[in-house]
Amino acid sequence: MNRYRMHLMVCGGTGCRSSHSVQIVEALNQELKRAGMDQEVQVVTTGCFGFCEKGPIVKVYPDNVFYIEVKPTDAAELVAEHVVKGRTVQRLVYKDPAGGQRIAASTDMPFYGQQIRIALRNCGLIDPESIDEYISVDGYQALGKALSSMTQQQVVDALKKSGLRGRGGAGFPTGLKWQAALKTRSDKKYVVCNADEGDPGAFMDRSVLEGDPHSVVEAMAIAGYAIGADEGVVYVRAEYPLAVKRLKIAIAQAEEYGLLGAGILGTAFSFRIRLSLGAGAFVCGEETALLNSVEGGRGEPRMKPPFPAEKGLFGKPTVINNVETFANVCPILLNGPEWFASIGTEKSKGTKVFALSGKINNVGLAEVPMGITLREIIENIGGGVRNGRAFKAVQTGGPSGGCIPKSMLDLPIDYESLAAAGAMMGSGGMIVMDDTDCMVNIAKYYLDFTVDESCGKCTPCRVGNKRLFEILQRITDGKGTMKDLEDLETLGGTIRDCSLCQLGQTAPNPVLSTLKHFRDEYLAHVVEKRCPSGVCQNLIHYRVVAEKCIGCTVCARNCPVSCIAGERKSPHVIDEDKCIKCGVCFTKCPVDAIVKE
Amino acid sequence: MAKLKSLEELAKLREDMRTRTEMRVTGTNPDRVVLSVGMATCGIAAGARDTMKALAEELAAHGIENVSVVATGCLGYCYAEPVVEVRFPDKGPILYGDVDAKRAKEIVDQHLVKGILLDHAIIGKGAGRR
Amino acid sequence: MSSTATTQTRFEELDRYIDALPDRKGALIQVLHVAQDLFGYLPQDVQMHVARRLNIPAAKVFGVVTFYSFFNTEPRGQFTISVCLGTACFVRGSEDVLKEFEKQLRIGRDQTTADNLITLTTIRCVGACGLAPVVMVNDRVYGRVSAKDVASIIDDCMAQGGK
């Protein structure tokens, strides 16, 4: 085997690929060949580094230099300077926005400084399409350890002792789920991986599947051994074609090595995994709806109990965990449950991956210990709010979560404190809003989503959320009353208490949390008929300031409905009745004589 | 690839594959030892590539982990090329000159393994830095 | 979808897939994925065919097809332009991008241009939030799209159209 003196790691995740990282790999290989270095230096396509804001990323080992925003045309310079002459290409190195200095090593960047990578341990480190590289970083050792030296109960006990809780939503202890499935007697059991990552703004599961698919395959096999199942199913979104492809490769490689199939590693244990593609229904992220979908039917949730651990897929006992939860399993077995339990808080152990997005400088994935504060994530790792604007709120937990205001930024992040704040850990999406976002409109946006995605099985969710949406529509149209605010609260409470599944139970969270923390914005809409952020179209008015207007007629000529009148060189006037509030005049005016209020 | 039939076969495969990713794992370890080889034009002309290869081979022969062999630019010691800088995390750098393949092996055997400096080959010492 | 294949050969290929299934229990959604790949959409006769071959009521097939947003009962254009309305894209202005597409293509959401070239639709998060707002054209992802880029994305489709 060739011993390369240098490895160039190029991100092959969905984000960086759409910024041409595939072409970067080709260009680097070409340049290396031209320089006669292709036997000395290896180009590796790897998984997501998490720093998606500045992609595509190229990382150089052993130097540990981290290049950002690399273009295919930069390949020649990278090879000529860094590879041949050993000189770091400064212009492609991360520049700290605060101090302005260039930081070459990823370990020195504030984005990575506070991270502890367990679930993402191999993302950016190995080639996800190579089982050999996975094995080289202790891959399949945890499975080997479980099969050779642990009983089923010991594996379950390790999970219980570690304190690992489900990373997909509600945070149910993983060990208890496994225990229940182990205890239930049956001729057939299943292990299901929930890879139907549907929360908008959450993409950590996609990154794990694309960057380290074997970690999920191995953990599923361990779960199979622990509960006595011989079949696993990964239910993955059809919207993630690259993740599907890499999973297929990983499963085929594991079968080839005999790490899946009959008699694994010479033991009596057999386990197979197949894929089941989703078809675009958010509710299928709910575990019982997902099971119905795997069975080929409509993804409508079932009544619980019985829980899947007793009666799950095809009526058989089933352990169902999400991708990030599985990604934590192997390190727990290898390093011991005590190690895992030493990270995090009393009730929330280990780390959580957060997907930072929205109005934040460093969009990306960050894996941090539980108990870190929102402020540390947003200000240190996220680099603060974009374009120097003021922070207004952070939305966590997707359509099931809530909006957390500035006053609560020092909240430590764990399952309990987020729930107490009216939000939710959810899958770990974290969307930052600034002062140009209207919180009533955001609540309406989420309700629109829920109404669209409600499966229609139970009335509180199907009808109740529709009514909530209509009330919010009225408020943003400027027709809301104080009675509407009361109705939002009572109706929201009813939906929360009476819906069948978590989709319905949590759907009012965006409304209730904004109503609690941003009541003044609701009042402005209802009482003053005004949208303080200038977002709700029916509540904004454009007006020409007569003293500033030079009568250039640009606004009148650009207005699509011809509602601006006025003579040349004299102040113009907007006819409010005809105005459709498109804002064209506001953006076109050369002297800023038009105001939005 | 034949199927793995036992834990031992899996362990052996891991040892065989370790070299594929070792460099990357070491690369982000703050406690690593860094060997920098001057690989500018004059360094390469003086045989720095053989030096680098010899370092890598000797490290592998000793089974030493946690050492990164890094190519670097011109260090300004043209009279002593090829040059190799040895930097332990908690100590000042030591610079060796005229490092051919033989001396490269010596650096690994003496300095890295036994902690004995090669006094006759040292052309510079730096202050400690962390 | 291959344009040279006749309806007949497409049905035959679908049958081959169904016959090769190790287990038809729970296979409906996977079969529909394959059928949509072959036919481009799922018209009534295809749904009936699937129902007969899997020996399940046509009503169940219809129920599943209409439940999932991935399945279409109407034909689609050669290019499907999907504007992401996930939260990250939404707060970075993807609604304006959608409006611009509607204006320039003179069609609404989930409609197809008269020449069958472009279908305009929306999706909820492709997980490329670092590039928000995101637009997908078939499988290709365009990142950091603003209303200004809409014309050139449409031009790209026109240029490749018919091929």
Q: What is the pLDDT of residues A412-423, one digit of tens each?
A: 999 999 888 888
Q: Which of A1, A136, A148 sits opposite B7 (nearest CB)?
A: A148
CA C51 – CA A514 distance, rounded (Å):
47
Mean confidence (pLDDT) of chain A: 93
End-to-end Cα spacing for chain B: 46
CA B89 – CA B72 distance, rounded (Å):
18
pLDDT digits (tens, 9 = 90+) for A181-225: 999 999 999 999 999 988 888 899 999 999 999 999 999 999 999
Q: Are A394 and A423 in contact (CB under 8 A)?
A: no
- Give chain B's count of helices (H) and strands (E): 4, 5
ipTM, two decimals, is: 0.89
**H/E segment holding residue A393:** strand A391-396
* B14 with A138: Cβ contact below 8 A: yes
pLDDT digits (tens, 9 = 90+) for B5-17: 999 999 999 988 9
B contacts of A7 (beta carbons < 8 Å): 23-24
Residue at B10 is within a domain? no
C contacts of A276 (beta carbons < 8 Å): 29-30
Residues 550-589 of A with CB under 8 A from C: none
B contacts of A265 (beta carbons < 8 Å): 4-7, 9-10
Q: Is A185 on the interface with B (CB under 8 A)?
A: no
B contacts of A5 (beta carbons < 8 Å): 52-53, 56, 69, 71
Confidence grade of residue A366 (pLDDT, cut at 50, 70, 90): very high
Residues 93-132 of A with CB under 8 A from B: 106-107, 125-126, 132
Chains B and A touch, contact meaning at least 3 pairs of CB atoms under 8 angstroms apart: yes
Residue at B120 is within a domain? yes
* A64 with B28: Cβ contact below 8 A: yes
Burial B102-115 (b: 16+ CB within 10 A, else e): ebbbbbbeebbeee
Sign of torsion, CA A331 A337 A342 A347?
positive
The residues with which A349 forms a beta bridge, in sequence order, are: A344
Q: Is A29 on the interface with B (CB under 8 A)?
A: no
- What is the pLDDT, as a whole number, of residue C3? 53
Distance from CA of A273 to the nearest CA of C (A): 14
What range defines the domain where residue B106 resides? Answer: 29-125
Averaged pLDDT for residues A422-430: 87
Q: Are A107 and A63 in contact (CB under 8 A)?
A: no
Examine the pLDDT at A314 and tell me if it is beyond 90: yes
- What is the pLDDT, as a whole number, of residue A596? 84
Examine the pLDDT at C64 and tell me if it is beyond 70: yes
Examine the pLDDT at B75 and tell me if it is beyond 80: no
* A257 with B3: Cβ contact below 8 A: yes
The residues with which A44 forms a beta bridge, in sequence order, are: A9
Peptide bond into A399 cis (omega under 30): no
- What is the pLDDT, as a whole number, of residue B91? 82
Which of A108, A31, A116, A134 has its CA nearest to residue A73?
A31
Total domains present in chain B: 1
Residue at B85 is within a domain? yes
Tokens at A181, concatenated = 């499935």
Tokens at A334, concatenated = 């290898």
- What is the pLDDT, as a whole number, of residue C108? 93
A contacts of C127 (beta carbons < 8 Å): 14, 197, 202-203, 206, 239-240
Q: Which of C64, C140, C143 sits opposite A297 (nearest CB)?
A: C64
Q: Which of B19, B25, B39 sits opposite A85 (nearest CB)?
A: B39
Confidence grade of residue B23 (pLDDT, cut at 50, 70, 90): confident
- What is the pLDDT, as a whole number, of residue A154? 98
Q: Is A163 on the interface with C (CB under 8 A)?
A: no
DSSP, collapsed to helix, strand or coil, labels residue A11 as strand
Distance from CA of A295 to the nearest CA of C (A): 4
Q: What CATH number does the domain containing B55 carry?
A: 3.40.30.10
pLDDT digits (tens, 9 = 90+) for A376-421: 999 999 999 999 999 999 999 888 889 999 999 999 999 999 888 8
CATH class of A134-339: alpha beta
Residue in the structure block whose two tokens are 């210990």:
A369
End-to-end Cα spacing for chain A: 69
Distance from CA of A251 to the nearest CA of B (A): 14
A contacts of B68 (beta carbons < 8 Å): 61-64
CATH class of A6-113: alpha beta
- What is the pLDDT, as a whole number, of residue B130? 36
Sign of torsion, CA A123 A124 A130 A132?
negative
Mean confidence (pLDDT) of chain B: 86
The neighbour count for residue A595, using CB atoms within 10 Å, is: 13
Q: Is C147 on the interface with A (CB under 8 A)?
A: no
Residues 6+ apart with CB under 8 A from A185: none
C62 to chain A: closest CA residue: A298
- What is the pLDDT, as a whole number, of residue B129? 42
Averaged pLDDT for residues A324-353: 97
A438 to chain C: closest CA residue: C91
A contacts of C87 (beta carbons < 8 Å): 200-201, 357-358, 395, 398, 429, 431, 445-446
Q: Are A525 and A564 in contact (CB under 8 A)?
A: no
Residue in the structure block whose two tokens are 């997707």:
A398
What values do phi and psi take at A23, rounded to 5?
-70, -30
**H/E segment holding residue A193:** strand A190-195
Subunit partners of chain C (3 or more CB pairs within 8 A): A
Q: Give percent of chain A with pLDDT exceeding 90.
A: 78
CA B85 – CA A2 distance, rounded (Å):
25
Sketch the domain layout of chain A as residue ranges.
6-113, 134-339, 351-434, 439-526, 541-596
Burial of A389 (0-12, 13-18, 19+ CB in 10 A): middle
- What is the pLDDT, as a whole number, of residue B38? 87
CA A15 – CA C18 distance, rounded (Å):
35
Residues 206-225 of A with CB under 8 A from C: 206
B contacts of A125 (beta carbons < 8 Å): 21, 24-25
The third-level CATH classification (topology) of the domain covering A439-526 is de novo design (two linked rop proteins) (1.20.1440)
How much helix, strand and coil, in percent to the nearest 5, is found in chain C? 50, 10, 40
Chains C and B touch, contact meaning at least 3 pairs of CB atoms under 8 angstroms apart: no
Number of residues that this document lists for chain B: 130
Examine the pLDDT at A108 and tell me if it is beyond 90: no
Confidence grade of residue B127 (pLDDT, cut at 50, 70, 90): low
pLDDT digits (tens, 9 = 90+) for A481-526: 999 999 999 999 999 999 999 999 999 999 999 999 999 999 999 9
CATH, range A541-596: 3.30.70.20
Q: Are B7 and B41 in contact (CB under 8 A)?
A: no
Residues 264-293 of A with CB under 8 A from C: 276-282, 293
Subunit partners of chain B (3 or more CB pairs within 8 A): A
Beta strands in chain B (DSSP E): 33-38, 67-72, 84-87, 94-96, 122-125
Distance from CA of A62 to the nearest CA of B (A): 5
Averaged pLDDT for residues C44-50: 96
CA B60 – CA A311 distance, rounded (Å):
54
Q: Are A40 and A3 in contact (CB under 8 A)?
A: no
The third-level CATH classification (topology) of the domain covering A351-434 is Ubiquitin-like (UB roll) (3.10.20)
* C87 with A53: Cβ contact below 8 A: no
**H/E segment holding residue A223:** helix A213-227
* B39 with A64: Cβ contact below 8 A: no
pLDDT digits (tens, 9 = 90+) for A78-99: 999 999 888 899 999 998 877 7
What is the pTM (predicted TM-score) of this model? 0.91
Averaged pLDDT for residues C41-70: 95
What is the secondary structure of A328-389 as a DSSP string?
THHHHHHH-HHHHHTSB-SSSBSEEEEEEEESBSS-EEEEEETT-BHHIIIIIIS-SBGGGP
- What is the pLDDT, as a whole number, of residue A324? 97
User: Which is more confidently placed, B18 or C32?
Assistant: C32
**Best residue in A79, A85, A127 to probe B by mutation, most B CBs within 10 Å?**
A85
Distance from CA of A79 to the nearest CA of B (A): 13
Tokens at A183, concatenated = 């205890």
CA A286 to chain centre: 16
DSSP state of A84: I
Q: What angle do CA A247, A250, A256 make, to 5 degrees?
A: 145
pLDDT digits (tens, 9 = 90+) for B24-69: 888 888 788 999 998 877 888 888 888 988 998 898 888 888 898 8
* B70 with A126: Cβ contact below 8 A: no
